[in-house]
Amino acid sequence: DVKVTQSSRYLVKRTGEKVFLECVQDMDHENMFWYRQDPGLGLRLIYFSYDVKMKEKGDIPEGYSVSREKKERFSLILESASTNQTSMYLCASSPTGTDIYNEQFFGPGTRLTVL
Amino acid sequence: DQQVKQNSPSLSVQEGRISILNCDYTNSMFDYFLWYKKYPAEGPTFLISISSIKDKNEDGRFTVFLNKSAKHLSLHIVPSQPGDSAVYFCAASGFHGGATNKLIFGTGTLLAVQP
């Protein structure tokens, strides 16, 4: 079974703090994704990565950065947390292969509250 | 602009009856569609998918129907069970030549199955 783990289930930070959210997958997937989930807005893609050290902006990258130094690990960084970044953050991974379409496997999520 | 829309934020159904969840999309380049199920405090899990070359895909109690001309898909759950109570997200993707398959998610529908 694919396992995607996230470093924290719940996190409380203060405005202006630098925040690191970590995600690790154990299935050697090439692709990794960071989403945020907000009521009424669904899942919105922040950043994704299709290879080590490669990253692409998603739909809402402002205020975030990412790091992928190893294939299994994808980090989301909030350089200076703000209250509007209070949200559920979800990490996902998927393989790249001969099959055109590959489902994404999600971690359990991190509920981040910025005070 | 929301490219994938789920216009019903919630749905309540009696146990044993049919649940029908709807999803509309605007981008005619989408050619693969997925449904994910999400319980509170857990990440989304893949449920069922359909390629645009089909108009129906069935897996046990779950059937997805695709109407390309109307840019509409629906998920049918028959018979509905209390354990089906969750948020359901539809997602769409277009083929990117075997590279990262970005998914565009809808806003979700909260299904409540009443015993």
Number of A–B residue contacts, CB under 8 Å? 70
Model pLDDT for residues B43-62, shown as the tens digit of each residue:
999 999 998 899 999 999 99
Q: What share of residues in chain B are helix, strand, coil (percent, to 5)?
A: 5, 50, 45
- Cβ pair A80, A65 in contact under 8 A: no
Do residue B32 and residue A98 have CB atoms under 8 angstroms apart? no
Model confidence at B97, pLDDT cuts 50, 70, 90, reads: very low
Question: CA A31: distance to chain centroid?
Answer: 11
pLDDT over 80 (residue B111): yes
**Alpha carbon distance A29, A92 (integer Å):** 10
B46 CB neighbours in chain A (<8 A) are 103-105
Q: Which fold has domain B4-96?
A: Immunoglobulin-like (2.60.40)
Using a CB–CB cutoff of 8 Å, tell me whether B107 touches chain A. yes
Q: Parse chain B into domains and list their residue ranges.
A: 4-96
Mean pLDDT check: name the lowest of A1-5, A27-31, A100-104, B108-112: A100-104
- Mean pLDDT in residue range B58-77: 97
According to CATH, the superfamily of the domain at A4-97+106-114 is Immunoglobulins (2.60.40.10)
- Mean pLDDT in residue range A70-90: 97
Out of A35, A58, A101, the one facing B101 most closely (by C-beta) is: A101
Peptide bond preceding A61: is omega within 30 degrees of 0, i.e. cis? no
Do residue A103 and residue B105 have CB atoms under 8 angstroms apart? no
Model pLDDT for residues A59-79, shown as the tens digit of each residue:
899 999 999 999 999 999 999
Do residue A101 and residue B105 have CB atoms under 8 angstroms apart? no
